[in-house]
Structure 1
Amino acid sequence: MATPHIAAEKGDFAPAVLMPGDPRRAERIANLLMPDARKVSDVRGIGAYTGTVDGKPLSVMASGMGMPSIGIYANELFGQYDVRRIIRVGTAGGLAHKVKVGDVVVALGAHTDSAMNTSRIPGIHFSAVASYPLVAAAVAAAGDATNVHVAPVVSRDHFYGNPAEQIQALADYGTLAVEMEASALYAIAAQYDREALAVLTISDHLLDHSRDMSAQEREENFERALGLAVAAAHC
């Protein structure tokens, strides 16, 4: 039963879906994790793959960039394909000195400057938070690693032109990273009574751009975050 944006049939997706932003990263993850992966959808160049990891079913699908894009796919996966949990495996910009390029942030919650969640419950400022069992599984998989952080992030509508004083204030309030999808994903998971998590590799830093990853490095350097995401997918 295809949707406007996914050409798969009912049952083609596993209960858990890993969701990077980049279609090339989705294909790379599928090939890395699942020798038995089969492509179940390819609408608009957004490949979706299903296979098994250690005998457990898993799917991988790209989300594209931004909350409207991940919102489309999350709604269709939760609402039409009976997906139970989505784990975003993406990149983020560091906001605070305590995180460095290459570190991983498990996003406990996601502030946002987007209006996407403001109309969900009139009169309420909706809190977009991760699902605790997925957070706990990712943290357990991280063990004693000092380069894995559990903290809020901020999901932005705009990649460019965000006020410097706002960035500093977010860091002062314990926000470690900035990205563009988690807040919408968490809200949609709550709407469907499903689970969601974002596990993010710091690919650049707003306080020091001298060590930013290249486009190729952003595509390839996700192994640590991927291991945590798989642990959350199969907890």
Structure 2
Amino acid sequence: MTVHIGAEVGQIAETVLMPGDPYRARWAAETFLEGAELVNEVRGMLGYTGTWRGHRVTIQGSGMGMPSLSIYANELITTYGAQTLVRIGSCGGMQPHVGIRDVIIAMTASTITSPSSGIMRELNYAPCADWGLLKAAVAAAEAKGTTTHVGGIYSSDVFYAERPDLDEQMVRHGILGVEMEAAELYTLAARHGRRALAVLTVSDHLQTGEALPSDERERSFGDMVEIALHAAFDEA
């Protein structure tokens, strides 16, 4: 076990889905996995391991923001041998053609700063998804008929941002949505030679002010989880 994950080595699968919300991890495990067992509850950051269509899968909460995700992703990779890490979570839409409930599959993740910035120093590193995962996720989304957008997202290091000028430039440059974790996940995966992807549900929109009602979120998030699972095991 590690400081933040109480599971024994062997209790974590090589494929890990990472929602930010630990309660979403529980919901996804109970909804999509067979034989899901609680393997981590340190600091309330729930993690479950079970099977999906015979494949072992762990669904582990990551918390909010890149510093929190960095802790869990590092430990999952270096101690538990995770090979494929897929972020599943919500995001804010930024383009007019991106609608509430749509799914964004993040090809790249821009950011101002991340926990890895100190390593990169003067380099503006460009974190990107694993191509095989991305291709499989797009195929799965098309097979489901889910309205999907593929492209760049922005991983913010703050939730309550006050930079309308930055938002304007991101929209101008085609950024599809904003969230808070993917850029660090992609960077860590590259550093350790692992596969990573972010599959995101648009829960609110920065331009229109629309927001998905809480009672509809779980139903809408189901497509995202299924796409992530199909992508991880290349089953369209």
Q: Deviations over 1:189-213 (max 9, x none)?
A: 111110110000000000111x301
Q: What is aligned with 1:57? A: 56
**Aligned partner of 2:185: which letter?**
L
Q: Deviations over 1:120-158 (max 9, x none)?
A: 234321111111111011011112646101011000011
Equivalent residues, number? 233
Q: What is aligned with 1:102? A: 101
Q: 1:161, 1:54 → 2: CA distance? A: 41
Q: 2:114, 2:34 → 1: CA distance? A: 41
> TM-score with structure 1 length normalisation?
0.95
Q: 2:23, 2:12 → 1: CA distance? A: 19
User: Does residue 159 in structure 1 map to residue 159 in structure 2?
Assistant: yes
CA contact (8 A) 2:146 2:223 kept: no
**Aligned partner of 1:141: which letter?**
A
**Structure 1 range deviating more: 92-101 or 160-169:** 160-169
Secondary structure of residue in 2 paired with 1:153: strand
Shift of the 8–115 alpha-carbon distance from structure 1 to 2, 3 Å rule, reads closer
CA contact (8 A) 2:110 2:155 kept: yes
> TM-score with structure 2 length normalisation?
0.94
Q: 1:59, 1:85 → 2: CA distance? A: 10
CA contact (8 A) 1:101 1:202 kept: yes
Q: CA deviation at 1:23?
A: 0.9
Q: CA deviation at 1:161?
A: 2.8
Q: 2:43, 2:219 → 1: CA distance? A: 22
Secondary structure of residue in 2 paired with 1:71: helix
Secondary structure of residue in 1 paired with 2:134: helix
**Structure 1 range deviating more: 19-28 or 120-129:** 120-129
CA contact (8 A) 1:50 1:57 kept: yes
Q: Deviations over 1:47-106 (max 9, x none)?
A: 111111111111101111000000000000001000001100000000110101110000
**Divergent runs of 4+, >4 A:** none
**Aligned partner of 1:19: which letter?**
M
Q: CA deviation at 1:166?
A: 1.0
Q: What is aligned with 1:37? A: 36
Secondary structure of residue in 2 paired with 1:70: helix
**Aligned partner of 2:17: which letter?**
L
Q: What is aligned with 2:199? A: 199
**Aligned partner of 1:59: which letter?**
T
Shift of the 115–73 alpha-carbon distance from structure 1 to 2, 3 Å rule, reads closer
CA contact (8 A) 2:152 2:174 kept: yes
CA contact (8 A) 1:105 1:199 kept: yes
Aligned-residue RMSD, C-alpha: 1.4
**Aligned partner of 1:214: which letter?**
P
